[in-house]
Structures are given as structure tokens and as C-alpha cells.
Amino acid sequence: MLIKGVYIMREKKMFVWENSLSKGCSKILFLFIFFSLILSNSVGNKEAYGSDDFFHEHQHEDEIPSGVMEAHTHSQGEWMTTYRYMYMDMPEHYSGTKKQTVDQVHNSFMISPVNMTMEMHMLGLMYGVNDEFTAMLMVPYLIKDMEHRRRSDSKQFSTQSQGIGDVKLSGLYSLKKYMSQPIHLNVGVSFPTGSINRKYDTLAGADQPLPYPMQLGSGTVDFYPGITYLDHKNKWSWGSQAISTIRFGKNDQKYRLGNEYKMTSWIGYKWQDWINTSFRIKGNIWGNISGEDSRLNPTMVPTADSNRRGGERVDLFFGINLIGQKGILSEHRVDLEIGYPVYQNLDGPQLGVGIQGTLGWQKAW
């Protein structure tokens, strides 16, 4: 009976995992293969551009991995539209660097998360105000899904939230006037357009306030200072970017999400004018929550505990970019990046990241 129960639970977990994995990743892969077929048909030669300079101007931005934002500037009057679909699966708990099973989480909490998936559709618009300063607007739409299991009867239930996240406005300031290295400064600000009041029916009752990771925004105005280095030689390209998220004050529910520090470096190789692959490493450190949302009960489920949200993680990514070469496809870029963590140290129990991916499209005009 017990063995059968465990077996069913494991089956169910596998199903949830496979289900969420296939939901995001097969969607990404399908779209990517579709675009590759279109773009590989458009392989042309450099002469299609008319001049080598034009090609040179644009090639560096085509080589940046899909998951890296705000890494290139534009020349005066140039626009760019971007779309990103991001997917993240969080299938396992960590406490420190150690994995924890749902049963172990149940030793301290009545409810344990089992799995979480996050999807994001992000629209971006870039504009070269002048040759030094590029402005960027990013509008995210988030879809979050969390599966839980109750200790007393092993009953599973899921919660969902979706909607607009925090809209971000950034400025990228090129330092080429002052130094020979291709470096630009990033300054960004996000506005609390994402809800922090999402509710959902749970086993505890109808319309329960969702815990911190299921909300859509920070609830505060946040600042994003950063610096980006981007270079290339022959068929190789490389870059580094450090961007922090700095938050002040408290939101309407009397808490503030932790600050975040991200650092990433990558190297890319251009096999042909239309195809570039990249390898990237990313380190990420984020703090716990200050204050707390008084509607949540931190002893019931770890996601409601403001002191179990911080952590650090290192991810490795493999990316591929396809760049349209002529006709109506010229300057369209379709890109894909898949990542997996190699190190996670979380204030837990907290769900850690499994596979993650970004599928993007961008076009300058």
C-alpha cells in the first residue's frame, strides 16, 4: 500500500515534470526548427548588403547570446524590436547546496511545493537617441505555475498566476568617446506594474493570497546599474556583463524583495554569416526579503517565508543565433539559448532551477 502510494506519487511527479518540460521546451524547439528552416533558405553573401561597413556595424549585436539583454547599443535614429520567450523549470528543492525531497520538506511544513514553471513573453523596443545613448523599453508578460502536495493526505493542488510584470526602462551609454575598449554603462529603472496581490484557490480555501514567488512584480521602483563589455575578432566574439537590481523602500504589502547581482561572460563563434553559436556562464546572487506580507503564513509553506528566498546559482548556457541574410529576412535574427545550473546554494527549502531556455527574435530598422 505504502509502496504503491510512493510509486503513484513518483509517477505523478514524473508526469508533472515531463508535462511542464514538454510544455516549454518542445514549444521552444519546434519554433526554433521552424525558423531555422526559413532562415537557412535565405543564406546569401555579404555583397547583398552593398558595403562591408554596413555588415561590420551590425555583426556584433547578432553574436550576443539570446538570454543576454541590453548588451549592445545602436547608432542614432536606429530602432530595434525584440521578442523573447523564456522558460524556466524548477523541479527540486535545495537547502544550501543539498537537495531535499518533498517528504523532507514535509518534516517542517504542512504544504510543500513540488514543481514550479515560469514562462515569460517579453517585448522590447530599442532606439538610438544618438551614437552614444540608446534607450530600451521592456514589457514582460509572466505565466507562473506551481504544484503543491499536502502532508496530511498527499493531496496535490496547483496554483497559477499570469499577467504583466514590471515594465523596465533602460539607458545604455557607450563609453567609446572616452576609451578604446567597447564598453557601455547600463542604467535601468523598473516600475511596479506587476501585481503583488495575485490570489488563487488552494486547499486552504478559495481566493488565497499567493506566496512571494508566484507574484508578478516587486511592488517597488527598482534600479539596475550595470556595465557591459562586448568585443569581436575575426569569427570570434566575446563579452561580459554585470547588472545589479537595487531596491528601496517597501511595497504596499510592507515588504521588499532582495537585491540581485548578476554577472555573465560568453564566447561565440561565427561558422557562417548566418549562424553563430555561443557558450556562456552566469553567476547570480540574490538576497532575502525584508519585511513580510502579513497575509501569508510562513510556517505553513516555505514559499511564504521571507527568509527562505535568497540564494546563489551558477548556470552554463549553449546558444545558437541565426541571422537572415537577404531579401525580407535580412537583419532578422532568431536565437535560442538553453541553460542548466552547475551550482545552487539556496536559503531553503527552496525550489532550485532545472532546465531553462530563451527563444528570441529581433530586427533592427
Binding residues for Cu ion, rule CB under 5 A, total 2
For the chain, the straight-line distance linking the first and the last C-alpha, in angstroms and rounded, comes to 64
With respect to Cu ion, which residue has the nearer C-beta, 58 or 256? Answer: 58
With respect to Cu ion, which residue has the nearer C-beta, 42 or 362? Answer: 362
With respect to Cu ion, which residue has the nearer C-beta, 80 or 102? Answer: 80
Which of these ranges, 76-84, 246-254, 261-269, 273-281, lies near Cu ion under the rule CB under 5 A?
76-84
In the complex, least distance from residue 128 CB atom to Cu ion, rounded to whole angstroms: 9
With respect to Cu ion, which residue has the nearer C-beta, 17 or 224? Answer: 224
With respect to Cu ion, which residue has the nearer C-beta, 80 or 351? Answer: 80
In the complex, least distance from residue 156 CB atom to Cu ion, rounded to whole angstroms: 43
* DSSP calls for 42-61: T---GGGGS-HHHHHHHHHH
The residues near 159 (Cβ < 8 Å, ≥ 6 apart) are: 145, 146, 148, 200, 202, 210, 214
C-alpha cell at position 194: 506587476
By 3-state DSSP, what share of the chain in percent is helix, strand and coil, each rounded to 5?
Answer: 20, 50, 30
With respect to Cu ion, which residue has the nearer C-beta, 105 or 126? Answer: 126
In the complex, least distance from residue 174 CB atom to Cu ion, rounded to whole angstroms: 13
In the complex, least distance from residue 175 CB atom to Cu ion, rounded to whole angstroms: 18
With respect to Cu ion, which residue has the nearer C-beta, 178 or 365? Answer: 365
* Contacts of Cu ion in 185-214 (CB under 5 A): none
- In the three-class reduction of DSSP (H, G, I as helix; E, B as strand; rest coil), residue 129 is classed as coil
From the list 124, 45, 66, 56, the residue with the least C-alpha distance to 322 is: 66
The residues near 165 (Cβ < 8 Å, ≥ 6 apart) are: 120, 140, 141, 142, 193, 194, 216, 217
In the complex, least distance from residue 118 CB atom to Cu ion, rounded to whole angstroms: 24
Q: Which of 80, 88, 102, 183 binds Cu ion (CB under 5 A)?
A: 80
Angle at 237 between CA 75 and CA 265, to 5 degrees: 100
* DSSP calls for 108-122: T-SEEEEEEEEEEEE
> Site mask, Cu ion, residues 103-132, x = CB under 5 A?
-----------------------x------
* Contacts of Cu ion in 18-57 (CB under 5 A): none
In the complex, least distance from residue 126 CB atom to Cu ion, rounded to whole angstroms: 4
Q: Is 282 left (phi over 0), alpha (psi -120 to 50) or beta?
A: beta
In the complex, least distance from residue 42 CB atom to Cu ion, rounded to whole angstroms: 20
Using CA atoms, how far apart are residues 107 and 298, in angstroms rounded to an integer? 14
Q: Which residue is nearest to Cu ion (CB)?
A: 80
With respect to Cu ion, which residue has the nearer C-beta, 126 or 146? Answer: 126
In the complex, least distance from residue 139 CB atom to Cu ion, rounded to whole angstroms: 15
Q: What is the CA radius of gyration of the chain?
A: 22
C-alpha cell at position 176: 567609446
* Positions that interact with Cu ion (CB under 5 A): 80, 126
